[in-house]
Structure 1
Amino acid sequence: MSLMGELTFFLGLQVRQLENEIFINQAKYTKELLKKFVMKNFSDASTLMNSSRKLDKDEGIQDVDITAYRGIISSILYLTVSRPYIMFVVGACGRFQANPKQSHYIAAKHISKYLKGTQYYAGCKIDRKSTSGTCQFFDDRLISWFSKKQTSIATSLAEVEYLATSSCCGFNNR
């Protein structure tokens, strides 16, 4: 492998190797996705999904092109390799691939807008630590929430996953 030079791209992941660190992201794939679906000039979204919009069958709403909708969903689904936290919302949109409506297409576009704004995700800009959290709802009412700043610093979501895996397996460098 050393005859081939430094690894810069592997299975759709961009790889940047430094002396003691390896940075992994899918920014190039995200840019290509936005270009393919004519969304590169859209504004960014600060949230992954609009919390006031609920996805359901929307029987009376206008249909959209099934092929285009499936293309967007499958393209975004590939990004879950390095960004597993988007899996829930992509799965929620994916449930409607058999009969997508305009509201589902708008939700998929919103995910794309979020991805556009977070191509080079690195957490907090001050200390570069990511924050995770959960919200528990009962019907439409928030009953509990939790938020915690992570102890690890990561410059890509793929790196976050690798750090999480190593901490679960007990491979922390101490």
Structure 2
Amino acid sequence: MGELTFFLGLQVQQKEDGIFISQDKYLAKILKKFNYSDVKSMIGSLMYLIASRPDIMFTVCACARFQVTPKTSHLLAVKRIFRYLKCKPTLGLWYSRDSPLELVAYTDSDYAGATQDRKSTTRGCQFLGNKLISWQCKKQTVVATSTTEAEYVVAASCCGQVLWIQN
């Protein structure tokens, strides 16, 4: 069959010292497709694009929160994301072959960071060696009354099974 070069819209370039994953062709397609009028489809397309573009993940997820009833300000924010992507179309993820196989995770939470409902936002990423393998950004479902409670909610949601075993 040969080397994997294209899979589910992801372009894969295998080199001697690592693997580069990008979505250049998909980005060109959505830039051409949208005439900046259909905000919901634009956000959906951007959500798929974040598979290889963590640089836009936070802003796309922030726009997705308002996808049901978008306003003019949300359309302007999405247009800014598209303008940025047009200027930086070839960015992607690089996975080096000589990275150690050690799993490391980072997480953080802000206290009442969402201005509309005072809910905290949780962010995190996981690395296998120096390779990014997963990332997330999520608004918490409860309103924390302190910074400590916001951090506890994160720990409970990420590691709930481990916390229950230790108690």
- When the two structures are superposed, what TM-score results if normalisation uses the length of structure 1? 0.52
SS at 1:97 equivalent: coil
Write the distance in 2 (CA, Å) between the matches of 1:92 and 1:160. Answer: 27
Runs (5+) with no aligned partner, structure 2: 105-126, 131-167
Does the Cα contact within 8 Å between 1:26 and 1:82 map onto a contact in 2? yes
Structure 2 equivalent of residue 159 of structure 1 = 94
Among 107, 121, 133, the residue aligned to 2:77: 107
Matched, 1:10 2:3: no
Larger RCO (CA within 8 A; separation ≥ 6): 1
Does the Cα contact within 8 Å between 1:82 and 1:161 map onto a contact in 2? no
Structure 2 equivalent of residue 19 of structure 1 = 16
Write the distance in 1 (CA, Å) between the matches of 2:31 and 2:48. Answer: 13
Runs (5+) with no aligned partner, structure 1: 40-64, 122-155
Does the Cα contact within 8 Å between 2:18 and 2:95 map onto a contact in 1? no
Matched, 1:36 2:33: yes
Is the alpha carbon distance of 1:17 and 1:71 closer, same or farther for their aligned partners in structure 2, counting shifts above 3 Å?
same
Partner letter of residue 108 of structure 1?
A: V
Write the distance in 1 (CA, Å) between the matches of 2:19 and 2:78. Answer: 31
Structure with greater proportional strand content = 2
Write the distance in 1 (CA, Å) between the matches of 2:72 and 2:49. Answer: 23
Partner letter of residue 72 of structure 1?
A: M
- When the two structures are superposed, what TM-score results if normalisation uses the length of structure 2? 0.54
Pairwise CA distance, 1:10: 1.3
Pairwise CA distance, 1:161: 10
Write the distance in 1 (CA, Å) between the matches of 2:66 and 2:128. Answer: 40
